[in-house]
Amino acid sequence: MQNEKADVQLSTIIRRIKAWETDNFMQRVPPDFTSLFHQMAYDSLRQTSHFRVEHTCIGCGLCAKKCPVHAIEMRRGRPVWVKEKCTMCLGCLHRCPKFAIQYGASDRHGQYQHP
Ligand code: SF4
Ligand code: SF4
């Protein structure tokens, strides 16, 4: 049942991407308590203060280069999150060649990159 719902939603998303539709997709309308709760949780998760860099960082700058919202700057050879919130794509964490970026209490999860 859930997969059927997801298929419908995916079809809509694919159609909109193919049509190059643009909008403020980060904006959410909280019509009820559940949505409000999700919005608050999402806002909390998006805080870049959750990220940290381990000593294994080699200062390659890939994380800053790949961040889609330019939330990372390289300063003295280390990444610094310069925005309070980001999109939480986790591209920086998953693309780091040294696995030096961690989020929250995590330290040894896997890395994934879309081929
Ligand atoms: S991608 Fe990883 S190794 Fe490269 S600068 Fe960022 S944290 Fe450091
Ligand atoms: S999670 Fe994505 S948006 Fe956030 S800092 Fe990393 S690359 Fe940028």
For the segment 36-90, what is each residue's pLDDT rounded down to a tens digit? 788 888 888 999 999 999 999 999 999 999 999 999 999 999 999 999 999 999 9
Compute the distance between CA of residue 26 and CA of residue 16 in angstroms, rounded to an integer. 15
**Nearest ligand by distance to the CA of 91:** 2
For ligand 2, atom 6, name the residue with the nearest CA: 92
* Closest by CA position to 85, among listed 52, 53, 49, 61: 49
Q: Which fold has domain 46-103?
A: Alpha-Beta Plaits (3.30.70)
Sorting pLDDT into bands at 50, 70 and 90, what band is 113?
confident
In short, whether 80's Cβ falls inside 6 Å of ligand 1 is: no
pTM for the predicted model, two decimal places: 0.72
Distance 51 CA to ligand 2 centre (A): 9
For a ligand 1 pocket test, name from 51, 54, 63 the mutation site with the most ligand atoms within 8 angstroms of its C-beta: 63
Cβ atoms of 59 and 78 within 8 Å: the answer is yes
User: How many residues would you count in the chain?
Assistant: 115
Q: Average pLDDT in the 79-104 region?
A: 94
The Cα 99–Cα 108 span in angstroms is: 9
CA of 73 to the centre of ligand 1 (A): 11
Structure-model confidence comparison of residues 73 and 107, the more confident one = 73
Of 56, 52, 58, 55, give the one whose Cα is nearest residue 93. Answer: 52
Residue range 1-43, pLDDT digits in tens? 668 889 888 999 999 999 999 887 766 665 677 777 888 888 8
Distance of alpha carbon 104 from alpha carbon 56, whole angstroms:
17
Q: Which residue's CA is minimally distant from atom 1 of ligand 2?
A: 90
Which ligand gives the minimal distance to the CA of 101?
1
Question: How far is the centre of ligand 2, averaged over its atoms, from the C-alpha of 31 (Å)?
Answer: 28
- pLDDT of 25 reads 72
